Amino acid sequence: MGKDIRGKELGIGISQRKDGLYSGRFVDKHGKRQQKYFKKLRECRQWLADAIYQDEHSDIGNIENMSLDAWFEIWIEMNEASFRYNTIEARKNRYENDIKPIIGSMLVTEIRTIHCQNVMLSMQGKYSKSTMNQTRSLMKILFDYAIDNEIIAFNPVTRKVKPIGGKEENLGRALTMQEQNELISVLDGYRFRNQYLFVLNTGLRCGEMIALTWDDVDFDCKKIFINKTATVVSCDGTVVVNPPKTKSSIRDIPLTSVALHILKEQKTKKVVNIENSKYVFVGDNGKLVSCQNYSRTLSYICKKNGIYPISMHSLRHTFATRCIEAGMKPKTLQAILGHSNISMTMNRYVHTTDDEKIKEMERIEHILASVI
């Protein structure tokens, strides 16, 4: 068991030199000692764990003969616990859909920049630029990991590997005031009515709404505390609860009278599933509902009633747009939405509707008329 320069035990295979560098070492299955030095203890521990795992699982053959598919499986197994469930699932999706069909069967050591660019070209016209950048980022991460484990010497994902011809992004559409009123008027009688109205009155992310528990509700102060997010796996109903992505997402949100009324209404509903009784919003069967299910139902309601079909996230966009139209300060809206920077709030979540443009033009009409 190695120790640091102050005598604190660091674990098997790790020690600290007098110059402050951390040493990670182990003997591989061929009897050869493997050793590497790091400035940070965390990096040393990560390398040691990865190297030992790679040594124990290298029965695939020589490490030089490992395919990218095999390397991706190793990367997932080694890093799954370090990322949120949604992040891992998104990366699996990107790999299966975009990377695997083009270069998955190739050896890691044989993949070059042109092959990575072929992945980008195969996505041309099918995906948005941000989605293509996610795929590029994943490729870079995989090859950086291969460099760290001394499988390759350089990363083929260079500056030349970039998205080309990405589709126009759908950043979320806010409802006009008329559409919003039409939607509210038809929600009665449909399931999830309260969930839709609550998001429309608080701007919560869908995962935050799903994760909301009664402990997070302060009826006396008329506010809710957002401190977690939940994902419901559609295939088996498994619920994965995680802390929010950023510190800014942990926040208090004051409640409108409508939001407060909805919570009181939810509180009176009969508990069907004791296990989920702590959650504010559940389905008719007492189970938590996935974001996909919420959005699918919302889109169906819109289509059936002649309203432009939207997703749950569009309700959040609509909330943000109504707030700005009502004169809310952008910094206040940023805090309510849980954004880490103001540009995200203003550029992606606040939409200028046709009604607002007409209103603003009418407001300055007398000024413009005076110059004629």
Domains of the chain: 1-45 (3.30.160.60), 57-169 (1.10.150.130), 177-359 (1.10.443.10)
Question: If you average pLDDT over every residue of the chain, what do you get?
Answer: 85
Determine the pLDDT at residue 364. Answer: 53
Q: How confident is the model at residue 153 (pLDDT cuts 50, 70, 90)?
A: very high
Picking from 331, 320, 338, 332, the residue whose alpha carbon sits closest to that of residue 250 is 338
Window from 70-74, 114-118, 232-236 with minimum mean pLDDT: 232-236
pLDDT digits (tens, 9 = 90+) for 49-68: 888 887 776 554 456 678 99
Largest CA distance in the chain: 91
135: nearest Cα among 174, 100, 159, 111: 100
- Supply the pTM of this predicted model: 0.64
User: What pLDDT, on a 0 to 100 scale, did the predictor assign at position 266?
Assistant: 94
Alpha carbons 211 and 192: distance in angstroms, whole number: 15
Q: What is the mean pLDDT of residues 1-23?
A: 83
HEC string for 246-298: CHHHCEEEECCHHHHHHHHHHHCCCCCCHHHCCECCCCCCCCCCCHHHHHHHH
Q: Check residues 125 and 104 and name the one with the higher pLDDT.
A: 104
Residue 371 has pLDDT above 50, yes or no: no
